[in-house]
Amino acid sequence: MLDIKFIRENADAVKAAMKNRNADVDVDAVLALDARRREIVSEVEALKAERNKISKSIGMMIKEGKDPEEIKAQVREMGDKITAFDTELREVEADLREKLLYIPNMPSDTTPVGQTEDDNPVIRSWGEKVELGFEPQMHWDLGEKLGLFDLERGAKLSGSGFPLFTGRGAKLERALIQFMLDLHTEEHGYTEVATPFMCNEQTMTGTGQLPKFAEDMYTVPLDGLYLIPTAEVPVTNMYANEILDKDLPILHTAYTPCFRREAGSAGKDTRGLLRVHQFDKVEMVKFTTPETSEEEHEKLTLDAEKVLQKLGLHYRVIELCTGDIGFSASKCYDIELWAPAQDKWLEVSSCSNFKDYQARRANIRYRDENGKTQFVHTINGSGVALPRLVIAIMENYQNEDGSIDLPEAIWPYMGGLKKID
């Protein structure tokens, strides 16, 4: 969340930023609550100071054998006032916090201003569109024919959007996960973690999924748990309510399945593996100082790109504009793979710098060189998400006879298999 002091001192800038985001936020209501809160605090604290003073004197009186009853009655009256103020204070603070939790992050100064995804500039691209020389087949046709997945049986088990991978398809999934984890841990310096796949409400609030996006998640009501929509959630919140004294940055990578209800997006690009309710993803998360977060964000994006380069897949990097950027992010690059049969770009990674927004929500701090505690900056990105990566491999590496060559980088992970036919 945003620092209330920052909002207080930069109200106009916050309002402008919310407008650029197309976010409906009542900044003045927040400021009014903040003003009332501080008013109550100063009144109630003055009363408490007085009470503490008199209470101490009662202790003295009793020791000296004097009768304190008269003063007790007086202090009791103060206590009633204090209770009334405290009650209102709690209400105001809860109200204020709730409102703050619904305010998205400030876009970075460098985030391009724009309305929709059409305003996202392309930052760079790598590789070229493949020349197949024949009419490419869709991945859902290739996959069913080659026995890589069985979407009908997946739907039987859980409903559409819950893919069932089979045989070499299941192995390819596992191989890609392994390949990416090895790359990030062995060459990019990340430490692997394996996390819970369900998290509690506090954790979901820490990274920004709650309270606003409750409907996007699967829940386990009996236990008050939510299925994670991304490994970002457990990995970032690992250090919630901690003061880190390890050397920053801290780099973690994790494989997890991700669960998303995708409410409201039914019917849109949902065929095959394009948009599913459960998918595998390797995630990268960094905890940095404010001074290094921009640089680390750039590096993390390159780490994700490296995956695609090693797999020889044509991609481009776009930067999300203010109207398209995610709720908690301040700056964000999306990486998109070219899919020749789809004839379009598929998003496989989203690399975001959250600055101190998540750290403030999750209360993750560190000690700077002066010994002062500060909020860390958090950064994360997919490195990368599996289903669309699989789609891109299938579509880019397909042959006219319907077989699929495998990228050399994953041969070792496929037991030497070079081609699926």
Partner RNA sequence: GGAAAGAUGACUGAGUGGCUGAAGGUGCUGGACUGCUAAUCCGGUGUACUGCUUACGCGGUACCGAGGGUUCGAAUCCCUCUCUUUCCGCCA
Indicate which residues carry an active-site annotation: 260, 275, 347, 350, 388
Q: Which stretch binds RNA (CB under 7 A): 249-257, 276-284, 366-374, 402-410?
A: 366-374
Q: Rule CB under 7 A: say whether 265 interacts with RNA.
A: no
Q: Which stretch binds RNA (CB under 7 A): 38-46, 191-199, 321-329, 345-353?
A: 38-46
Measured in whole angstroms, the distance separating CA 40 from the mean position of its chain's CA atoms is: 35
Q: How far apart are CA 30 and CA 92, in angstroms?
A: 10
Interface residue with RNA among 62, 194, 263, 266 (CB under 7 A) is 62
Q: Rule CB under 7 A: say whether 38 interacts with RNA.
A: yes
Q: How far apart are CA 267 and CA 279, in angstroms?
A: 18
Q: Rule CB under 7 A: say whether 58 interacts with RNA.
A: yes
Q: Rule CB under 7 A: say whether 399 interacts with RNA.
A: no
**Residues contacting RNA: total by CB under 7 A:** 29
Bridge-based pairing of strands 331-339 and 344-355 is: antiparallel
Sheet holding 198-199, edge to edge: 198-199, 225-227, 219-220
By CB under 7 A, the residues from 239 to 258 that bind RNA are 243
Whichever of 106 and 318 has its CB closer to RNA, that residue is 106
Whichever of 332 and 359 has its CB closer to RNA, that residue is 359
Q: Rule CB under 7 A: say whether 268 interacts with RNA.
A: no
Q: Rule CB under 7 A: say whether 76 interacts with RNA.
A: yes
Q: Rule CB under 7 A: say whether 15 interacts with RNA.
A: no
Whichever of 211 and 224 has its CB closer to RNA, that residue is 224
Place of tokens 């948009």: 275
Buried b (16+ CB within 10 A) or exposed e, 348-374: bbbbbbbbbbbbbbbebbbeeeeeeee
CB of 245 to RNA, least distance (A): 7
Report CA-CA distances (Å) from 396 to 358, 399, 411: 37, 9, 17
For the record, the structure tokens of 374 come out as: 């500060």
Q: How far apart are CA 156 and CA 403, in angstroms?
A: 27
Q: How far apart are CA 253 and CA 192, in angstroms?
A: 5
Interface residue with RNA among 15, 36, 51, 174 (CB under 7 A) is 51
Binding residues for RNA, rule: CB under 7 A, are 4-5, 38, 41-42, 45-46, 48-49, 51-56, 58-59, 62, 68, 72, 75-76, 79, 90, 243, 365, 371-373
